[in-house]
């Protein structure tokens, strides 16, 4: 049960007469209703309120639930009188000032008190617009437009806008009925015809007057309010625990995935097998293949990268692994920038950062750009290439697993391995580095991902067979994390 459902259950029990017991010595709701009508007539005779049209009787079909025999169903307009508010014209600058607090729905703290307002009006506006009628501190307010059923009690003398009514029970010893209404109005305002107020609709004077209110004796009203005030702090504590659990549940799959990936690239997800060789051996083999590509003129020779110091290593790895630079494992480059002045080449479809998601692509409605033959060779991705974003969501990565080639624009890195490595393993590294703040980490990691930064990015290198076993284990367990969502 959610905190809101629990709160509503308490209020439902309260207005059904099931929250506190009925005590015969406290009289009946019918007796209270007659006193209210007598007091209401006295107020009319004294000219304090206007006489309104009699409200229709409540039929059995209208009653939304059963109430105790000692209670009575009443209509809101029969037990209270209320005043509508107003909004002075915004074009009349002399009406807006620093004199009188003017309450809007935004000033009403739900089930709380209005202690201050964002806007005020002048004494002139109070006189000319409100006829000097001001709601005194202690008055009950309820919104009836857009945000329907929000209630607050004024802690200051103020006026209010036309979306709010100030409510005055006709007969109210010790403010019992006001406090009873304060607790239940947000709930009962959604019953019957007034439930149409949800989703932007509003109440009007007719629907306000005809709101159904279950009326207990005054003494029972006080006991109901006391019990609600006893229980709601417990609901608040329950809500805090609920929200913590919801936050934990919401983030648990993501955190679990992150933990599994952390174990994977720290060499703790699968055991090491001595017969699979070492990361250092794999590294030397890749460097040999890289040198062969250089000798064949397929890639250019690069300046050697400095050795990786212990201070650079973000975590410990097994002795059979090695720390290496991305640029020592992959030939990498970005694509072509769109330039309207380019006239050479042929039109080819290409992808941008908006087409690349975590290990997936959105390839609908691709645009074209002119590419020369040299640009096509440099900017074309093929099956098995790892793409990493240099712009947009920096560090986001995906493996191009399509059988057809595709061109890339300049904010995408194309990573193509020099030797035989497991591309999926390195995709998971980028996913973890991004989620851990090691890429674009706002002060704690790599800021941006230029070609130079990508080239020097250090990664743990296990033996090839272990890379494959790590990926196989991740493919086995990561879908379980997705199912937890």
Query: Under a CB-based contact definition with an 8 Å cutoff, are residues 398 and 359 in contact?
Result: yes
Whose tokens are 């057809």? That residue is 404
What are the strands, taking DSSP E only, across 335-424? 346-351, 356-357, 360-361, 367-371, 380-381, 386-389, 397-399, 406-408, 412-417
| Cα–Cα distance measured from residue 224 to residue 229, given in angstroms and rounded to the nearest whole number | 9
Measure CA 335 to chain center.
36
3-class secondary structure, 331: strand
**Under DSSP, is residue 90 helix (H, G, I), strand (E, B) or coil?**
coil
Q: Tell me the per-residue pLDDT of 217-226, one tens digit each, with 9 for 90 and over.
A: 999 999 999 9
Q: Give the span between the Cα atoms of 173 and 219, in whole angstroms.
A: 10
Domain 3-238 and domain 272-467 have a common topology: yes
The dihedral of CA 98, 99, 103, 104: what is its sign? negative
Mean pLDDT of 322-328: 96
Q: What is the pLDDT of residues 227-252, one digit of tens each?
A: 999 999 999 999 999 888 877 667 76
Q: pLDDT per residue over 286-305, tens digit each?
A: 999 999 999 998 888 888 89
Query: Which pLDDT score, from 0 to 100, does residue 299 have?
Result: 86
Global pTM reads 0.60
End-to-end CA distance of the chain: 19
3-state secondary structure of 195: helix
Using DSSP's 3-state secondary structure scheme, residue 468 falls into helix
Look at residue 446 in the predicted model and tell me its pLDDT: 53
Total residues found in the chain within this entry: 485
Parse the chain into domains and list their residue ranges.
3-238, 272-467
pLDDT at 139: 96
Using one digit for the tens of pLDDT, what is the confidence trace for 331-361?
Answer: 999 999 988 888 899 999 999 999 999 999 9
- Is the separation of the CB atoms in 414 and 333 below 8 Å? yes
Q: Which CATH superfamily is domain 272-467 in?
A: DNA methylase specificity domains (3.90.220.20)
Instruction: Give the separation between CA 469 and CA 317, rounded to whole angstroms.
Output: 16
Rg (CA), the chain: 36
How much of the chain is in helix, strand and coil states, percent to nearest 5?
40, 20, 40
Place of tokens 């991705």: 381
Segment 189-199 mean pLDDT: 49
Residue indicated by tokens 């437009």 = 145
Q: Report yes or no: 421 and 467 within 8 Å, Cβ to Cβ.
A: yes
Question: What pLDDT score does 132 carry?
Answer: 93
CATH placement of domain 3-238: 3.90.220.20
- According to DSSP, the residues that pair with 214 across neighbouring strands are 73
pLDDT score, position 444: 42
> Residue 103: which of 92, 113, 118 has the closest Cα?
118
């Amino acid at each position: 049960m959610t905190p809101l459902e629990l709160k509503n259950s308490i209020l439902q029990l309260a207005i059904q007469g099931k929250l506190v017991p009925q005590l015969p010595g406290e009289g009946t709701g019918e007796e209270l209703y007659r006193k209210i009508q007598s007091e209401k007539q006295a107020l009319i005779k004294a000219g304090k309120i206007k006489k309104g049209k009699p409200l229709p009787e409540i039929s059995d079909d209208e009653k939304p639930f059963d109430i105790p025999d000692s209670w009575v169903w009443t209509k809101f307009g029969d037990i209270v009188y209320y005043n509508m508010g107003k909004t002075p014209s915004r074009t009349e600058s002399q009406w807006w000032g620093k004199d009188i607090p003017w309450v809007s729905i935004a000033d009403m703290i739900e089930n709380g008190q209005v202690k201050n307002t964002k806007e005020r009006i002048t004494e002139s506006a109070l006189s000319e617009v409100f006829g000097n009628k001001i709601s005194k501190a202690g008055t009950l307010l309820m919104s009836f437009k857009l945000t329907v059923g929000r209630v607050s009690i004024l802690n200051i003398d103020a006026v209010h806008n036309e979306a709010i009514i100030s409510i005055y029970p006709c007969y109210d010893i010790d403010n019992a009925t006001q406090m009873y209404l304060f607790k239940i109005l947000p709930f009962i305002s959604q019953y019957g015809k007034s439930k149409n107020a949800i989703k932007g609709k509003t109440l009007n004077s007719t629907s306000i007057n005809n709101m159904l209110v279950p009326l207990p004796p005054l003494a029972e009203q006080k006991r109901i309010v006391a019990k609600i005030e006893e229980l709601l702090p417990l609901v608040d504590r329950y809500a805090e625990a609920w929200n913590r659990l919801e936050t934990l549940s919401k983030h648990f799959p993501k955190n679990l995935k992150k933990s599994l990936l952390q174990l994977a690239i720290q060499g703790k997800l699968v055991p090491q097998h001595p017969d699979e060789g070492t990361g250092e051996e794999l590294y030397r083999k890749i460097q040999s293949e890289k040198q062969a590509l250089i000798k064949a003129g397929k890639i250019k020779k690069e300046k050697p990268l400095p050795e990786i110091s212990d201070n650079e290593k973000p975590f410990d790895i097994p002795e059979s692994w090695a720390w290496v630079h991305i640029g020592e494992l992959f030939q990498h480059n970005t694509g072509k920038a769109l330039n309207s002045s380019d006239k050479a080449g042929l039109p080819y479809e290409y992808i941008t950062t908006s087409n690349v998601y975590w290990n997936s692509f959105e390839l609908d409605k691709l645009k074209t750009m002119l590419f020369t033959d040299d640009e096509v060779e440099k900017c074309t991705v093929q099956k098995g290439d790892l793409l990493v974003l240099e712009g947009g969501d920096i560090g986001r990565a995906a493996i191009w697993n399509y059988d057809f080639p595709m061109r890339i624009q300049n904010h995408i890195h194309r990573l193509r391995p020099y030797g035989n490595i497991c591309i999926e393993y390195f995709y998971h590294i980028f996913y973890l580095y991004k989620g851990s703040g090691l890429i674009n980490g706002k002060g704690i990691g790599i800021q941006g991902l230029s070609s130079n930064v990508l080239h020097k990015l250090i990664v743990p290198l296990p033996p090839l067979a272990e890379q494959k076993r790590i990926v196989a284990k991740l493919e086995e367990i990561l879908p379980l994390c997705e199912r937890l969502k």
